[in-house]
Structure 1
Amino acid sequence: MTGSAFYLSLLPFTTTIFRFFSSLLAPLVIDRFPLKRILVQSQWWKTILLVCLGIYISSFNHGFSVAVIFFIAVISLLDGVAAPVSAAFIPQLVPKDERMKANGFLNVITQTIFVAGWPLGSVLLISTNSSFIIWLTVMLFAVSTIYTGRIEISEQTTDSVAPTNWGSIKSGWVAIRQIPTIHTLISIDFITTLASSVWVAAVIYLYVEQNLQLGEEWWGYINTSYFVGMIFSGLIVIRFAKLLEKYIGFFITFGLFLSSLLTLLFGMTSIPALALLLACLYGLPEQIREIIYTKLFQDHTTEKTLAKIYAVWGAVINLTFAGSALLLGYITETYSVKTTFPFSSTMIFLAFLYATFKRKDLHGEKCDQSVSSQSSNIPR
């Protein structure tokens, strides 16, 4: 659509910034409407916007323009509300003792789509054009919205007296502060997110060039290996769900230690086959930990509060990741990629130390007894 690196960089920047602000304001909507209604209507609005975008590109053929940025910005605003709401659906659809397996299954589906989506998208773009891809996306969005509308859930009734705007906005933050398990998990995730930008394309390109001394296509191989590891992690969760639930604290802390070690080894190696193996192995503890986080979040809150917590979490992580990408990009450019990975490994190791210190907050079973009393004090 454009050969300008600046215009291309506006896409992730616009998406991140607008999703950040939308996530901050999402509780205003969550407090006033049923979750299913929010999700279905946001999906329909995104479908309508994609239709408008498709008509614009097909009719005017201007390619990249301010209008395209506008459509992307509004869709990102809707995503910032829809994402936490959809994440809060699982507890209403799946019994508590089956949630770990359900989260693992969803992980397998999601990561498989990611792995297949990149090459499939490239083939479609080469063999067709951007207009065809947009209309295909419109069709998929419409189908998904229809099926979402057919989901039957039983929601809590909305409070007859809605909280103030400020009360809604801060309610997710209050919930995080009042529930020790969730506060600890988000603190750990904040630290690890500072390190996770080491896997962005800009850093991996330099890693492939400087460490492996191979062509750019190896970035794709490494990226695929990473996602394959995530898929296997979902299968492991499905198979050993009960074991993971029994030793949640251990798997979180050990997973952090393993991630730190694998990041360090990956940054040090110059053997291509070993780099692929380490990237795959790195995806295992990362995604298992993410699934465990999701399970603990679901067990410790009501659906409305869970949606607000996810909104806050999304806002914090989006902003942290953006800042981390700049920081690690600066470290890579100023020093070298061989400095970036040890730095990232050190950050994850700090998260491991913090998790070890706060391990009493990572045992979901012990915390369940106090959930109801904690939740009663949280603004909904």
Structure 2
Amino acid sequence: MKNRSFRLLWMSQALANSGDIFYIVGLISVLYSLTESPFILALVPFFNMFGRFVSGLFSPLLINRYPLKQLLVYSQFFKTVALGMLALLISLLVPVVPVVLAFVLMIAFLDGWATPASQSMLPRLVPPHELVKANSFFSIVYETINLGGWAIGGLLVAFLGGQWVIVFTVGCYTASTILLLYIVDATRFTGKEASTRRADELTEGWKTIWRHPLYRSLHILIAFEAIANVVWIASILYVFVAEVLQKSEAWWGYINTSFFIGMLLGGILFSRFASWGETKLKPVLLISSFGICIITFLFGYTQIGWLSLIIVCFSGIFQQLKGIATDTFLQKNATPEELPKIYAAQSTIVSLLFAIGSLVFGMLAEVVDVRITYLLAASLLFIASVHTYRQRRYLSLEK
């Protein structure tokens, strides 16, 4: 954890993640002042997700041809250039909505390279016995940014205005790019031969996941959770707060804050007891998987406001423990060549299933009692947890 390159990686990603939040908040403010259309605002996260999905599909081609550090630097540099152009467009001209959304798509596509590259870079910069602690620390940083970033972004918009927040984000992106330049990755890069078929390259991560029992078991769990976690999106949670809890809109914010506090506590807990967690990854993964299932069911059927906050806080803790355990299993078992492609495939799986789940669960919440969506989510999580338990013999740290 004292590795200089590790410090540069987490600081650069902290700046980049903060910038991602600030830029979205600033852009939503600009678009709302132009259109006052909720539909246009909803297109921002949609294009953001779609860009990441497409990038996840094609990122194996880049992973096979460029070292991870170069991918991180190129991704952040071109994101900075694209956002700088968007800032100029908004500042100097009356922005056209389709052009603005095209920039959102472009920035998300570029960011899709960075996610698997960053996750795969981490185990190269810290010794194996510190991976749990490093993953916990990364999670603490990420959740702290998520917890405070939206509030800080809102304050910045209130004081500076949306367009100046985007300009400020360009500065965050620039600093992140500079920090990435000084990372030293000692892992030798071996690119794919030119004769390799493109179709084989694009499906390499998927095939690796399917052939390896551990990777397959973990990603079945991840896939089911990607669908089930849709019940925590704003459109469904908002209905739940209004119809079941019968609380004001402010409670949507309270629930989100409680969830992120739980995520932060989970990261601190794993970091504090990293040595113990290193030897107990299998029970942590299984207990947290069943815990998320139970918590989702309980949340869907509580009508007491303060109790819902406690329940969702525990959901955040379990989500964090499961995420750290899953990442550690992958990082310790996969080779340096396999890991980026596995994470690229994982990003594609999560983006696609989350998008489909959003539509399906959104329609269910509109035509039936919103609590049914939480029952369905809990059922999916239970199926995934049982499958993981039955495949527990594959949950090991042996290559």
TM-score normalised to structure 1 length? 0.93
Return the alpha-carbon distance in structure 2 between the equivalents of residues 93 and 26 of structure 1: 22
What residue in structure 1 maps to residue 130 of structure 2?
Answer: 98
Q: Deviations over 1:251-302 (max 9, x none)?
A: 1111111111111111111111111111101101111100111111111122
CA distance in 1, matches of 2:225, 2:189: 37
Partner of 2:389: 356
| Residue 85 (1) aligns with residue 117 (2) | yes
Q: Distance in 1 between matches of 2:46 and 2:92?
A: 27
Tell me the SS of whatever aligns to 1:269: coil
Aligned to 2:103: 71
Instruction: Tell whether the 8 Å contact from 1:203 to 1:337 is kept in structure 2 after alignment.
Output: yes
Distance (Å, rounded) in 1 between the aligned partners of 2:186 and 2:396: 28
The within-5 A match list for 1:1-380 is: 1-2=31-32, 3-62=36-95, 65-159=97-191, 161-162=193-194, 163-364=196-397, 368=398, 371=399
Cα distance in 2, alignment partners of residues 290 and 156 from structure 1:
28
Q: Deviations over 1:214-256 (max 9, x none)?
A: 1111100100000000000001111122222222221111111
Q: CA deviation at 1:160?
A: 6.8
User: Is the 1:175–1:309 contact (alpha carbons within 8 Å) kept by the matching residues of 2?
Assistant: yes
Range 153-162 or range 273-282, more displaced: 153-162
Q: CA deviation at 1:9?
A: 1.8
Q: Is the 8 A contact 2:48 2:104 kept in 1?
A: yes
Q: Give the whole-Å Cα distance in 2 for the aligned partners of 1:215 and 1:160.
A: 56
Look up the equivalent residue of 1:256 and give its one-letter code.
Answer: S
Deviation at 1:121, TM superposition (A): 0.9
The answer to whether the Cα contact below 8 Å between 2:205 and 2:345 also exists between their aligned partners in 1 is yes
Distance 1:340 1:100 in 2: 34
Q: Could you give the per-residue CA deviations for residues 182-236 of structure 1, whole angstroms, max 9, x where no partner exists?
A: 1110011111111100000011111110111111111001000000000000011
**CA–CA separation in structure 2 for the residues paired with 1:218 and 1:265:** 18
> Contact 2:242/2:248 (CA < 8 Å) preserved in 1?
yes
CA distance in 2, matches of 1:340, 1:148: 42
SS of equivalent residue, structure 1 residue 302: coil
The answer for the alignment partner of 2:16 in structure 1 is none
Letter in 1 for 2:88: I
* CA-atom RMSD in angstroms: 1.2
- Residue 37 of structure 1 deviates from its aligned partner by 0.9
Distance in 2 between the 1:91 and 1:257 partners? 28
TM-score (norm: length of structure 2): 0.89
In structure 1, what is the Cα distance between the partners aligned to 2:176 and 2:139? 18
1:349 deviates by: 0.9
- Displacement of 1:158 in angstroms is 2.1
CA distance in 2, matches of 1:159, 1:42: 19
Query: Which residue number in structure 1 is paired with residue 5 of structure 2?
Result: none
Paired residue type of 2:380: M
Residues 176-185 or 221-230, more deviating:
176-185
Q: What stretches of structure 1 of length at least 5 have no aligned partner?
A: 372-380
Matches of 1:155 and 1:170, distance apart in 2: 24
Q: Relative to structure 2, which stretch is displaced further, 163-172 or 66-75?
A: 163-172
Percent identical residues: 33
CA distance in 2, matches of 1:34, 1:257: 38
One-letter code of the match for 1:245? Answer: E
CA pair 27-61 structure 1, distance change in 2 beyond 3 A: same
Instruction: Show structure 1 runs of 4+ deviating over 6 A.
Output: none
3-state DSSP of counterpart to 2:81? helix
